Amino acid sequence: MEYADMLLLRFGEFTLKGKNRTRFEKTMLRHVREIVKPYPKARLLKEYGRIYVELNGEPAQELLEALVKVFGISSISPVKAVRPVLEEIIDASLRFIEMVNPEPGTTFKVNARRVWKDFPHGSQEMNRLVSAPLLKAFQALSVDVRTPEFELRVEIREQQAYIFCENIPAVGGFPLGTNGKAMLLLSGGIDSPVAAWSSMRRGLEVECVHFFSYPYTSREARQKVVDLARVLSRYAGKIRLHLVPFTEVQTSFAGIGQDNLMVTLMRRAMLRIATTLAEREGALALVTGESLGQVASQTLPSMNVIGRATELPLLRPLVMMDKAEIVDLAQQIGTYDLSILPYEDCCTLFLPKSPTTNPNLHVVEKVEAALPDYADRLAEAAAAAITVEVTPHGDERPADEADLILTVKEDWF
Ligand code: ATP
Ligand code: MG
């Protein structure tokens, strides 16, 4: 990697989208600029469908590792830059192959492109001019123009010629926030952080809402969600997290003799409150970490009855994924170790022995209608939400944290 003078960033599928393209590319550039900021010598060059990061001595490997995570980048190539002169191009190509150190029998091809039309040799001619000395110097190599094991790319421009071969896959997707905003229900579990990342990768700006039932759930449980949001903010720059006190709503379901509907009622209440917050914040959809069949509340009949509590589109990015795939993603994005910390979620409280897998919508609606001042309670919970803006390296804390600590202390005495 030390040979690289530049990193070439290619864009993903969004390049297909005609009129949005400029907006997408601008967002992309802004995001890359943000990542490159701590490396003052690095310079960005924007070109149609690509961004080049000129390293000027900044560490290629470190920047590469950060940039493969930027949404909208489909692949990255470390590039050697030389003067656009035949001898220098051949020389650099030889050194390139030396580094690749191919096994005997390896097939390759040279793929040259003359962008600068005044360069004296055409693209086809350059393919021959560059591969001949390579074949001579490396007897182990042979040419295969159709399915080579590696391709040496040479791009000749007026200022410089670029030589590269590695095509390192990056995360892909759409640039951050280019497909609008959604409100994600973030628990402390494994799934919802992965759903958040998947949504962001699809170009959604994500705000998170978390429901906590203090003092039935601990301060640590809530802090864990703040910490999860911090991991997510590495991908987004910042994450707005709304913390909703859910105790009052939850206790309104106690003692009504509908224990097996408890989870259904709770989930519907969460969706209602999340809808209020989404409307307030201008989010056009809700997102959850639900996955079909995973637990009683995620059977199709349950999803049907729960989903009807909101009129907003309810996105479930993980709905068809296996748990093993979700766990794998959680490990890759860095949320897994936090997610498995053993703190109570408000939904595991008052959990009935046998939650229904097949709730009846009419019964559920009747039960809700009979709850005293239910709509007011939901509205109050939404209004009492505390918002924290979480950033990757910050130490932001919810404004009421001191109050929570005080309450704990009072409990002790
Ligand atoms: P997760 O791993 O995300 O907790 P799960 O498989 O454990 O998911 P549930 O706990 O039943 O499933 O929750 C289903 C979804 O409901 C979660 O993915 C999340 O989007 C939402 N949710 C559950 N509990 C909370 C909470 N306390 N605050 C906000 N959202 C929640
Ligand atoms: Mg959970």
Binding-site residue set: 185-186, 210-211, 267, 289, 298
Q: What is the CATH number of domain 181-412?
A: 3.40.50.620
Task: Specify the pLDDT at position 411.
Answer: 46
Instruction: Please indicate whether residue 310 or residue 342 has the higher confidence score (pLDDT).
Output: 310
Confidence of residue 331 (pLDDT cuts 50, 70, 90): very high
In angstroms, rounded to a whole number, what is the distance separating the alpha carbons of residues 288 and 300? 15
Question: 298: CA distance to ligand 2 center in Å?
Answer: 11
3-state secondary structure 274-336: HHHHHHHHCCCCEECCCCCCCCHHHCHHHHHHHHCCCCCCEECCCCCCCHHHHHHHHHHHCCH
Task: Mark 265-295 as b/e (b = at least 16 C-beta within 10 Å).
Answer: bbbbbbbbbbbbbbeeeebebbbbbbbeebe
Share of the chain above pLDDT 90, in %: 73
Task: Specify the pLDDT at position 410.
Answer: 47
The pLDDT of residue 221 is above 70: yes
Q: Which of 18-27, 157-166, 271-280, 333-342 has the lowest mean pLDDT?
A: 18-27
Ligand nearest to the CA of 267: 1
Mutate to test the pocket of ligand 1, among 183, 184, 185, 302 (most ligand atoms within 8 A of CB): 185
Confidence of residue 348 (pLDDT cuts 50, 70, 90): low
Would the CA dihedral through 259, 261, 266, 269 be positive or negative?
A: negative
The pLDDT of residue 100 is above 80: no
Question: 194: CA distance to ligand 1 center in Å?
Answer: 11
Closest to 350 (Cα-Cα) out of 237, 235, 226, 255:
255
Confidence of residue 96 (pLDDT cuts 50, 70, 90): confident
Report every protein residue that has its C-beta within 5 angstroms of ion ligand 2.
187, 189
The pLDDT of residue 229 is above 50: yes
| Ligand 1 close to Cβ of residue 242 (< 6 A) | no
In angstroms, rounded to a whole number, what is the distance separating the alpha carbons of residues 106 and 123? 23
What does the DSSP assignment read for 242-266?
A: EEEE-HHHHHTTTTSS-GGGHHHHH
Task: For the chain, give the mean pLDDT.
Answer: 91
Task: Specify the pLDDT at position 17.
Answer: 62
The pLDDT of residue 272 is above 80: yes
In 10 A of CB 261, how many CB atoms?
22
| Ligand 1 close to Cβ of residue 207 (< 6 A) | no
pTM of the model: 0.88
Task: Specify the pLDDT at position 352.
Answer: 74
Residue nearest to atom 16 of ligand 1 (CA): 288
Instruction: Please indicate whether residue 101 or residue 335 has the higher confidence score (pLDDT).
Output: 335
| Ligand 1 close to Cβ of residue 189 (< 6 A) | yes
Strand partners, 239: 390
Nearest 5 degrees, angle CA 240-CA 214-CA 327? 55
Is the domain 6-169 a CATH 3.30.2130.30 member? Answer: yes
The helix-helix angle for 21-36 and 60-67 (nearest 10°) equals 140
The pLDDT of residue 85 is above 90: yes
| Ligand 1 close to Cβ of residue 192 (< 6 A) | yes
Task: Specify the pLDDT at position 101.
Answer: 81
> Which atom of ligand 1 is nearest the CA belonging to 346?
27
Task: Specify the pLDDT at position 16.
Answer: 60
Q: Which two tokens stand for residue 287?
A: 């997102």
Task: Specify the pLDDT at position 409.
Answer: 45
Task: Specify the pLDDT at position 349.
Answer: 64
The pLDDT of residue 326 is above 90: yes
DSSP 340: T
Mutate to test the pocket of ligand 1, among 184, 185, 187 (most ligand atoms within 8 A of CB): 187
* Domain boundaries defined on the chain: 6-169, 181-412
Binding-site residue set for ATP: 185-186, 210-211, 267, 289, 298
Task: Specify the pLDDT at position 412.
Answer: 42
Instruction: Please indicate whether residue 214 or residue 315 has the higher confidence score (pLDDT).
Output: 315
Q: Which two tokens stand for residue 373?
A: 């001042």
Share of the chain above pLDDT 70, in %: 95
Question: 191: CA distance to ligand 1 center in Å?
Answer: 7
Closest to 133 (Cα-Cα) out of 115, 147, 146, 152:
152
CB 264 within 8 A of CB 350: no
Q: Could you read off the pLDDT of 383-399 as tens digits, one per residue?
A: 999 999 999 888 889 98
Task: Specify the pLDDT at position 150.
Answer: 87
Task: Specify the pLDDT at position 347.
Answer: 64
| Ligand 1 close to Cβ of residue 210 (< 6 A) | yes
Residue nearest to atom 14 of ligand 1 (CA): 290
